[in-house]
Amino acid sequence: MNTTVKINQWLQKNEHRGIKLLQQLVQENSVRENESSAQAVIIEKCRKLGLDLDIWEIGSDELKGHQAFYCDRKDFSGTPNVVAVKKGSGGGKSIILNGHIDVVPEGNEKDWIHHPYSAVVENGKLYGRGSTDMKGGTVALLLAMEAISSVGIQLKGDIIFQSVIEEESGGAGTLAAILRGYKADGAIIPEPTNMKIFPKQQGSMWFRITVKGKSAHGGTRYEGVNAIEKSILVMNALNRLEKVRNDQITDPLYKNIPIPIPINIGKITSGQWPSSVPDLAWIEGRIGVAPHEKMEEAAVQLETCLKELADVDPWFKEFPAEVEWFGARWQPGNLETNHELIQTVTKAYKKVKGIEPVIEASPWGTDGGLLANVGNTPVVVIGPGVTAAAHDVNEYIELKEVFTAAEVIAEAIINWCEKSDEQGD
């Protein structure tokens, strides 16, 4: 019986345990600053797999002083990063398997059919915040590792499994792991690509724009200047900038993506009192950064766009809209499609699925940018689940896809890290 068949059978036999692990993980709400109980589930699993555990609270001076560190959280205590290593016998290529444990807030709970942390399984789907982004992917990694060991395969290269915090707000967890010394010859990040292969990843940055008005009594609102009305002009300008930037993207990897590098308005806050004209508004959002682009270039374009508002409305000449680049940013990733890592994953995919994979650019940022640009580790992003479900209410994952992902990833790991010499197929 060859390795591919053995892995497949092991995964089939252990389906129930795999689902249970994912349920446990989803049931532990791990929104930012609340990641500890979900990490405990990961730690317990890694212990059972006999991995060498490294559990630490991030936040060193080196981390906070690093040029790629962007985070608005001050205190990381109580919510550790977890790295678990399976040492190889030596001589093979090493691989990082990276998943983030933090999830975005659940939004309006009333809009969820099942409670957001129920992990209910229905018609082959598991529901809950984080099921797709990306606890499903993390479980695929753990299943791949367990399958390889369980069928008796010893590898030459090291496997470095990482369950990191803070991906959703800028990647401080992955950056901390890089600075702690974790680098490798390649990395797989199973973010929800719907099992497409993403060699390139869109980067992104968060912005906060302050828009000024002039307060007045609402009954004589014509004596004031409404910061919300001025914010609409700002948002229209950002829409125009998004169009200009996306019209310039010609990379064929983006051909099926409606807006390759979106500018998203995620939040607006203005006013304290219904009967007053508000004098301040804050718009928060994220700007997508193209794989070939530098973060700074994108920042300058947005800043220029805001300056040009003075031509649209003279108000902005006197009271310019001001931008802060706060909190999170994700570096873009830009691996060429002919890189050996992409070839290895493509081959594994074809072997397991029997068809050609779709190779595209990712429509969102991942920690892959940091691994590539700071950690010098080539990265491929491939994982179960669809992007549309991530960050949405009623987030779910097709359980079948989690096991397919585990199978493809196991196959890729074996080919990448190589079996020890004494082992045949």
Active site residues: 102, 167
Among 36, 37, 118, 264, binds its own copies (CB under 8 A): 264
Of the pair 85, 358, the CB lying nearest its own copies is at 358
Residue 57 touching its own copies (CB under 8 A):
no
Q: Is 221 in the site for its own copies (CB under 8 A)?
A: yes
Which x/- pattern over 132-151 shows residues binding its own copies (rule: CB under 8 A)? -x------------------
Cα–Cα distance for residue pair 132/287, rounded to 1 Å: 23
Candidates 207, 316, 319, 403: give the one binding its own copies (CB under 8 A).
Answer: 207
**Cβ(242)–Cβ(260) under 8 Å?**
no
**From 114, 392, 415, 418, residue interacting with its own copies (rule: CB under 8 A):** 392
Distance CA 230, CA 232 (A): 5
- Identity at 383, one-letter amino acid code: G
Angle 334-188-289 from CA coordinates, rounded to 5°: 30
- Determine the Cα–Cα distance for residues 266 and 234; give it in Å rounded to an integer: 14
Residue 67, classed as helix, strand or coil, is coil
Q: Which of 49, 55, 259, 299 binds its own copies (CB under 8 A)?
A: 259
Please choose, out of 20-28, 45-53, 362-370, 412-420, the segment that lies near its own copies by the rule CB under 8 A: 362-370
If DSSP codes are grouped into helix, strand and coil, which group holds residue 181? coil
271 binds its own copies, rule: CB under 8 A: yes
Helix-helix angle 399-417:136-150, to 10 degrees: 50
Q: Which is nearer to its own copies, 288 or 368 (CB)?
A: 288
* CB distance 182 to 85 below 8 Å: no
Q: Is 334 in the site for its own copies (CB under 8 A)?
A: no
The least CB distance from residue 20 to its own copies, in Å, is: 27
Residue 223 in the binding site for its own copies (CB under 8 A): yes
Residue 247 binds to its own copies (criterion: CB under 8 A): no
The verdict on 229 binding its own copies (CB under 8 A) reads yes
CA dihedral 406, 408, 414, 415 (to 10 degrees): -160
Q: Which residues contact 348 (CB under 8 A, 6 or more apart)?
A: 408, 409, 411, 412, 415
Site for its own copies, rule CB under 8 A: 104-105, 107-108, 111, 133, 168, 202, 204, 206-208, 214-224, 226, 228-229, 232, 235, 258-259, 262, 264-281, 284-286, 288, 327-328, 362-365, 387-388, 390-393
